[in-house]
Each structure stands twice: as structure tokens, then as C-alpha cells.
Amino acid sequence: MQFDTQYARTKMNHKQLKYEEISPYWDILWPKQLHQPYSSMLMREGHDSRIADKFKWRGWCVYEDYSIHGVMAGHKSAGKEYRTRGLWVSEKHRGKGIAQRLFEVAETQAKNECCRWLWSYPRLQALGAYQKAGYETFGPTDRGKWDDCIRAKKDLSIITTTVWNVTESPLEYSQWLDKINFWEDRGILLGQNEEVRNNFVHITQHWVNDLYMYPLAAIPDGIQPVKEIRGDLKDPLHVL
């Protein structure tokens, strides 16, 4: 993720906050509304009242000296989905890349927790910041009592394609195949396709995110692919 150069020149840092510390800023963000650290909302539809019992909540801020200029929180809402919420940036410091820094922190946390999806439920007036961070809207716009909101998501998954000499294909090694089954069972490897072209084997794999991808793990010593390519689902070089 790229940040504004204006932000890069500042001395702002980020750190974690407790709910009691982030709450006053959410009072500004959601005046006259009650709020809790967790949301029970699910990514696609519906609610799960057990989210607070199953997943850990985290809050973050971007600060300079002793002043907090922006806050955000997040928690998993399901096995491979991470919800961000409560993005607030002080009016005086908007346009300095603070929101993008908070998005990066949340994205790193989502990847660490082995998530594929980063999602939120932003107000329409804040949607531009989410789109700048790579979120795409989905579903209808909800016309609420306080704000108009819409769901937005970002796909963190990644595609790798490795090309092997047909005589050195990892498909021939039981240890590698066992690892593939292990990663598939845990939702780390989301899909795999093998294709033979001339004297080469092309293995395309869809991983949950770039912190959990192991295209070359469990390969015997001395065996290396002819080529390795990384990209996302929009990359035409990959075929799944």
C-alpha cells in the first residue's frame, strides 16, 4: 500500500488503544449513538452474537507527540474475514495519509490472523478513503437513521504460479502432496490447478494472503522451478 508523500514527511506513529481510550473519539464519530467495541454484523449478511466471545478486538491510533489524530478498530467476524470499524480522523489532519496508515495496520493484523477478506461498513461520506485503500463496495446501500452506509471489502488473497521441468515436478513428491493437503484443510490454500505445457508443468495456487503462501515449501533440496510468478486474481498471467 502506498502512502501520501505528505504523510511520509511527518513524525506520526501508530500504537494500540484499549476500548476505553478509543471510545471518546467514537463519541465524536457517532454522536448520540451507543457503541460497543465489537460489531455482531457478518460480512455478507446477518449477525453473530458470539463474535465477541470468539475473536480478539484491537484498536489503533495514529499520533504525533502526545496528540491522537486518527483511530480505527478491528476484529475477525468469521474464520477468514476481518472487520474494520470506527475510522475517525481529526478534521485538522485529514488529507495527510492518516487513514491509509490505519488501513495498513488493520490489513497487517488481518493477514497475521490468516484472513482473506478485509471488510467494513463505512458511511457513504467516508467511502472515498476506503476505495483509496483498495476496498470495493458490494451489496445495497443501507439508508439508516443516522447515516447511509454500504459494505466494502478488500481481497487479500494472492496467486502464485510456478513452472517446473516435467522431470522435476513437485507433483511426484509425497511430502509436498502431504503439505498441500495440510494447507487445504486449514483454509490456507484456497485452490490449485496443474497444467502440462510442452515439457513444463505449470502449478497455479491460490493462497489466503501473502503471509500464508508456501509454493516452494517441502520441495527436495536442489529442485527449483524454472519460473515463479506472483499476482492476484485480476492478473491475466494466472489461470485457476
Please list, in sequence order, all residues whose beta carbon lies within 8 angstroms of the beta carbon of residue 216, skipping any fewer than 6 positions away: 162, 224, 225, 228
Q: Which pLDDT score is estimated for 6? A: 45
Question: Is 78 inside any structural domain?
Answer: yes
Structural domain count of the chain = 2
Question: Is 195 inside any structural domain?
Answer: yes
Question: Is 240 inside any structural domain?
Answer: no
Domain range holding 107? 5-155
Question: Is 237 inside any structural domain?
Answer: no
Q: Which pLDDT score is estimated for 237? A: 52
Instruction: Kindly state whether residues 92 and 165 are assigned to the same domain.
Output: no
**Whole-number Å distance between alpha carbons of 142 and 45:** 12
SS (H, E, C) 78-92: ECCEEEEEEEEECHH
**Whole-number Å distance between alpha carbons of 194 and 38:** 42
Of 97, 85, 79, nearest to 19 by C-alpha is: 85
Residue ending a domain, choose from 102, 126, 155 = 155
Q: Which pLDDT score is estimated for 10? A: 54
Q: CB atoms < 10 A from the CB of 140, how many?
A: 8
Instruction: Kindly state whether residues 182 and 222 are assigned to the same domain.
Output: yes
Instruction: Kindly state whether residues 221 and 176 are assigned to the same domain.
Output: yes
Residue ending a domain, choose from 135, 155, 175 = 155
Q: Which pLDDT score is estimated for 207? A: 97
For the full predicted model, state whether its pTM sits above 0.85.
yes
Instruction: Kindly state whether residues 108 and 20 are assigned to the same domain.
Output: yes
What DSSP state is assigned to residue 225?
A: -
Question: Is 239 inside any structural domain?
Answer: no
Instruction: Kindly state whether residues 100 and 167 are assigned to the same domain.
Output: no
**Whole-number Å distance between alpha carbons of 97 and 14:** 12
Q: What are the tens digits of pLDDT across the range 100-154? A: 999 999 999 999 999 999 999 999 999 999 999 999 999 999 987 778 999 999 9
Q: Which pLDDT score is estimated for 47? A: 96
Question: Is 115 inside any structural domain?
Answer: yes
Q: Which pLDDT score is estimated for 93? A: 92
Q: Which pLDDT score is estimated for 143? A: 87
Residue ending a domain, choose from 102, 128, 155 = 155
Q: Which pLDDT score is estimated for 12? A: 83
Sheet strands (E) in 48-113: 58-64, 67-78, 81-89
**Whole-number Å distance between alpha carbons of 201 and 219:** 15
Tell me, what CATH number does 201's domain have? 3.30.70
Grid cell for residue 134: 483498495
Question: Is 236 inside any structural domain?
Answer: no
Positions of the chain with pLDDT lower than 50, given as ranges: 1-9, 236, 238-240
